[in-house]
């Protein structure tokens, strides 16, 4: 899951971004409307966390432009004013506890256009997407945030080839070098942790696919 956080307070923005990364999200951070608009125009997100008062205007203006353009990206509005932002999907009053923000972001991502299943099962592999837990053959595995993000995308598209570019978006913050080897490194780690028989197959020049039967 990829989240754009738009917050001009350096401390709060870093706290929110780092906290969401720690629980498994890929996060980009913008500090003003212009930067946020640019990021939204070139990359895809599952949720937008948007501050109301920004140096170059009101976050509501960005939200309304997105809605007018037909973009239905789920939006959590951060505000110091106790008033419902009618165009937002949810809003959170400042100051707030990070746990509450993370819960709201998770709920919005699950309500997105392509919702994830709560539990994904492929053969003897089980992913609990809400708790970020993975079991194979009933054994609980320890995965890092990037490993879980890549495995989740492969699992929800089981049987389909997922490109390196798509996987890269789910395990890196900010646009990354398309020649980066991070995806291949994460796949190698996943294969080792998942153990035999291998479930993640390589499709040459295309990407990776996960399937319940042994893969080559």
Going from N- to C-terminal start, the domains of the chain cover 2-110, 119-210
How far apart CA 37 and CA 17 sit, in angstroms, is 18
Confidence band (pLDDT; 50, 70, 90) for 168?
A: confident
How far apart CA 21 and CA 18 sit, in angstroms, is 5
Cβ count within 10 A of residue 51? 25
Q: What is the pLDDT of residues 3-23, one digit of tens each?
A: 999 999 999 999 999 999 988
Tokens of 210: 């996960």
User: Would you say 40 and 66 are in contact if contact means Cβ atoms under 8 Å apart?
Assistant: yes
Q: What homologous superfamily does CATH list for 2-110?
A: Response regulator (3.40.50.2300)
Whether the upstream peptide bond of residue 95 has omega within 30° of 0, thus cis, is: yes
Which residues have CB under 8 Å from 101's CB, separation 6+?
A: 16, 19, 49, 76, 92
Confidence band (pLDDT; 50, 70, 90) for 140?
A: very high
| Residues paired with residue 28 on neighbouring β-strands, in sequence order | 4
**Higher-confidence residue: 98 or 174?**
98
Q: Look up the pTM and report it.
A: 0.58
Tokens of 70: 């037909």
User: Would you say 65 and 40 are in contact if contact means Cβ atoms under 8 Å apart?
Assistant: no
pLDDT at 215: 47
Percent of the chain at pLDDT above 70? 86
Which residues have CB under 8 Å from 132's CB, separation 6+?
A: 23, 24, 143, 148
- Assign a CATH topology to domain 119-210: Arc Repressor Mutant, subunit A (1.10.10)
Angle between helices 164-171 and 182-194 (to 10 degrees): 80
User: Would you say 76 and 91 are in contact if contact means Cβ atoms under 8 Å apart?
Assistant: yes
Whether 164 has a pLDDT exceeding 70, the answer reads yes
**Higher-confidence residue: 82 or 51?**
51
How far apart CA 44 and CA 14 sit, in angstroms, is 21
């Amino acid at each position: 899951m990829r989240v754009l956080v738009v917050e001009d307070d350096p401390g709060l923005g870093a706290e929110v971004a780092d906290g969401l990364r720690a629980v498994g999200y890929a996060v980009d951070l913008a500090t003003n409307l212009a930067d946020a608009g640019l990021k939204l125009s070139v990359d895809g997100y599952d949720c937008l966390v948007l501050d109301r008062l920004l140096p170059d205007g009101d976050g509501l203006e960005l939200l309304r432009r997105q809605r007018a353009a037909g973009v239905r990206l789920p939006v959590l509005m951060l505000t110091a004013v106790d008033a419902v932002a009618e165009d937002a999907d949810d809003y959170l009053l400042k100051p707030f506890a990070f746990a509450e923000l993370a819960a709201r972001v998770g709920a919005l991502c699950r309500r997105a256009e392509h919702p994830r299943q709560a539990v994904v099962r492929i053969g003897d592999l089980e992913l609990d997407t809400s708790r970020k837990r993975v079991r194979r053959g009933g054994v609980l595995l320890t995965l890092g945030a990037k490993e879980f993000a890549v495995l989740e995308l492969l699992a929800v598209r089981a049987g389909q080839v997922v490109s390196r570019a798509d996987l890269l978006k789910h395990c890196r913050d900010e646009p990354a070098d398309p020649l980066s080897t991070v995806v291949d490194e994460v796949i190698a780690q996943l294969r080792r942790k998942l153990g035999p028989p291998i479930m993640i197959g390589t499709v040459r020049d295309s990407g990776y696919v996960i399937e319940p039967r042994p893969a080559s």
